[in-house]
Structure 1
Amino acid sequence: MGTIKGSINIPQRYRVAIDARFVLRPLRGMPQYVYMLCQLLPTVMPEVHFFFFINKQFEYNDDKDNYEKRLSKISNFSNVSVVNINAETEMLWEQWLLPKKLKKYKINLLHMPGNRVCLLSRVKQITTTHDLMEWHSLKILRYYKNRSLKENFYFFRQKAYLWTVYRLGLSFSDHVLTISQYSKRDITQSFPKLKNKSSYVYHGIPRGFKPPIDNTSKQGVLMLGGDSHQKNPENMLKAWAQLPKELQRAHPLTILGFVGGEDSIISKTIRALGIENDIIIKGWVTEDELIQAMQTSKVFIFASREEGFGFPLVQSMASGTPVVTSEADVLIEIGQDAICSAKAEDFLALSSAVGSLLTDEQLYNEKVKKGLTISSKFTWEHTAEHIASTYLTLLK
């Protein structure tokens, strides 16, 4: 994690609560963000007593052995209490059970770091809204013909709840934190009243993402297995399939983290392109396996239609592997001149960018060097210090 430059002085022992439910989930993206905050903030603010509220009953938690190790680590701080609140639904946890615990433990400030808001509490609140993808895709009154009336009512209730969280909840928050300049601009354009009570700070890079000792044996093209429309997997697959056959043989495509089935857009596109026997597909991998893949791959293709930050982009640059991205605003913001980019729908241009990196040694080395320089600025210590300073402002 590195060394914290200095703790922030607090005049008295305030009580700060963090919604730490994501610490119990598979460690990617948002869970990584929450877990790192839970490790660093108690060190940055030693005079604050932190209460980390979790939910061991949530059905999509990681394996118990995995998350118990993380809980043990964050429980070791003398100024931390981990409090479990069992609930079968997130709505019940957030809006009914959590407010009771805030009152019981006399909390001064609540941080909801996972795109949610606690509506039924008067405790001061900071919300991390990573992006507005949920909000932009929200269609409350959509009726699904292939679902029963009961199922449609369930989805309506969920959508209505999300509408309330974003439309009303964000305005109730005392501060809205986000993770990129792009996300902040999107949030303040969508909700102008938040302009004067919002800020952004970039993520840091988890430990282990660094260049390999031997940078000459890199081989292959890497992509991740997200199969949502936002992740744009079909055009990344088409981009690789457009490479000359000799490049395909020299640099096969590996897909990591694929959990879809035969009806997934990834599976359908692979069959349509006839490349079933030419690529490697792996399911969910550990962070160590992801690090190894990023260190040993020649090129990483990450051409999402939209991202709130783009964790894998920074991780790949830090691993010494250049990246081909889409022209999504935040990817251009983060990658700057270290990336090769093209429009998300233009698989021919994406393919050309991948081919250039695989065949132009001078361009390749230039992008590797720039990626390492840019990624070195993304530290969790800086993230934690910005958030701690925001806490202090609200507590005062």
Structure 2
Amino acid sequence: MTCVYDTRWCGEHGIGRFAREIAAHIPHVALESPGLPMSATDPVRLSRSLASVREPGAWFLSPGYNAPLWAAMPYVLTVHDLNHIDRPENSSFLKRIYYQTVLRSLCARARAVLTVSEFSRQRIIDWFSLSPDKVFTVGNGVSSVFVPDGVRHLPGYRYVLCVSNRRGHKNELGALRAFATAGLPGDARLVFTGNPDPALMAHAQSLGAADRVVFSGRVNEQELAALYRGALMLLFPSFYEGFGLPIVEAFASGIPVISSCVTSMPEIAGQAALLVDPHAHEEIAGAIRQLHDDEPLRRQLIERGLDRVAAFSWAAVAARVRDAIRVVDVRPDQPLNWN
């Protein structure tokens, strides 16, 4: 095999799932390199590691935003979004410098840049000043564990689910405020994935809703699937997403979705979700109330979601990755062979 693949990205987070599924669908040899792939110094380590690869015709494929700073072999990398540029709370002076210098150079020298939505593709083309012919949307898929039938989380109360990670762009404060003012019956709870956050709990206390907010703690994929199946709905009013994987996971799990009308989310949700302005708390609260009270609407959105999710398979994503590689495999002196 001549594709050297960076398996260090594989994990339970968004890029991790993408990395893991692509690795399962394409022939490759795993990269042998120390350190974390998201480290600012990884392009240097990666260059050294790839220099030791002796297999003729080898090339490098990264499911994340790392690539060798210098290397004789060609490479393809994946930039899922420009969150660290577009969202101030996730940015910093050093991150912007890294993107403007190192990552800009890596993208310029890449044979191709993969990404997960048309929204992200256009941002990458514009911000890095890349040729549109070099940037390919391959999308994301849904793991086979996310299906309507299976174990349901049954905690003894009904709940609205917010799949999140305590990062500011997820708009958790907005979700909490909207839930607290939606007027749902007192037995309904708002469940956040992940561990408790003092600031979020203080906000819940100020809204008089502290006893209605639950944190699931860290969950694996099977536990997350059970959380989806047991929920009244997914509440996902994020300010920014390069894709928005919880949207399609909720579709696949057979629950209705409220998401945002900005960035990639309308593209991913299509007509299968209620889309709201993430800055408009009253609008979000109204959508929560509407989905809670309107059973025919819930059924309609569930059916649309199940139809919509059929387009998001990992096999199809892997096929688009292969197609992108074929398009840019134009140099006979450095072919991008799979085996």
Partner of 2:176: 237
Flag structure 1 segments of 5+ consecutive residues without an equivalent: 1-13, 43-49, 54-82, 143-154
Does 1:32 pair with 2:17?
yes
Does 1:165 pair with 2:102?
yes
Partner of 1:51: 29
Match of 1:112 among 62, 66, 76: 62
Partner of 1:20: 7
Q: Is the contact made by 2:158 and 2:231 (CA closer than 8 Å) also made in structure 1?
A: yes
Aligned-partner Cα distance in 2 for 1:214–1:160: 46
Partner of 2:166: 227
- Relative distance call for 1:102 and 1:284 in structure 2 (3 A) is same
Aligned-partner Cα distance in 2 for 1:213–1:231: 28
Match of 2:135 among 198, 204, 207: 198
- Deviation larger for 267-276 or 303-312: 267-276
TM-score of the pair, normalised by structure 1: 0.76
Partner of 2:226: 292
1:193-250 CA distance string (max 9 Å, x none): 33121110111101111113699x9932111242222111100001100122xx2424
TM-score of the pair, normalised by structure 2: 0.88
- Relative distance call for 1:331 and 1:138 in structure 2 (3 A) is closer
- Relative distance call for 1:17 and 1:138 in structure 2 (3 A) is farther
Instruction: Give 1:337 shift.
Output: 0.9
Aligned-partner Cα distance in 1 for 2:164–2:291: 22
Q: Is the contact made by 1:224 and 1:258 (CA closer than 8 Å) also made in structure 2?
A: no
Aligned-partner Cα distance in 1 for 2:150–2:62: 40
Q: Is the contact made by 2:61 and 2:77 (CA closer than 8 Å) also made in structure 1?
A: yes
- Deviation larger for 90-99 or 332-341: 90-99
Aligned-partner Cα distance in 2 for 1:285–1:228: 17
Give aligned-pair identity as a percent. 23
**CA RMSD across the alignment:** 2.5
Q: Is the contact made by 1:205 and 1:380 (CA closer than 8 Å) also made in structure 2?
A: yes
- Relative distance call for 1:16 and 1:259 in structure 2 (3 A) is farther
Aligned-partner Cα distance in 2 for 1:289–1:138: 32
Matches within 5 A, 1:228-377: 228-244=167-183, 247-258=184-195, 260=197, 262=198, 264=199, 266-377=200-311
Secondary structure of the corresponding residue to residue 323 of structure 2: helix
Q: Is the contact made by 2:243 and 2:264 (CA closer than 8 Å) also made in structure 1?
A: yes
- List 4+ stretches of structure 1 deviating above 6 A: none
Residue 232 of structure 1 aligns to which amino acid in structure 2?
N
Instruction: Give 1:254 shift.
Output: 1.2
Q: Is the contact made by 2:47 and 2:69 (CA closer than 8 Å) also made in structure 1?
A: no
Instruction: Give 1:103 shift.
Output: 4.2
Residue 188 of structure 1 aligns to which amino acid in structure 2?
I
- Relative distance call for 1:138 and 1:104 in structure 2 (3 A) is farther
Instruction: Give 1:52 shift.
Output: 1.2
Partner of 2:80: 130
- Deviation larger for 363-372 or 222-231: 222-231
- Relative distance call for 1:267 and 1:163 in structure 2 (3 A) is farther
Instruction: Give 1:175 shift.
Output: 0.5
Partner of 1:77: none
Q: Is the contact made by 1:117 and 1:165 (CA closer than 8 Å) also made in structure 2?
A: no
Partner of 2:332: none
Secondary structure of the corresponding residue to residue 376 of structure 1: helix
Q: Is the contact made by 2:46 and 2:68 (CA closer than 8 Å) also made in structure 1?
A: no
Q: Is the contact made by 2:140 and 2:313 (CA closer than 8 Å) also made in structure 1?
A: yes
Q: Is the contact made by 1:212 and 1:296 (CA closer than 8 Å) also made in structure 2?
A: no
Instruction: Give 1:251 shift.
Output: 2.5
Matched length: 324
Residue 111 of structure 1 aligns to which amino acid in structure 2?
L
Aligned-partner Cα distance in 2 for 1:248–1:332: 29
Secondary structure of the corresponding residue to residue 17 of structure 1: strand
Residue 53 of structure 2 aligns to which amino acid in structure 1?
K
Residue 127 of structure 2 aligns to which amino acid in structure 1?
S
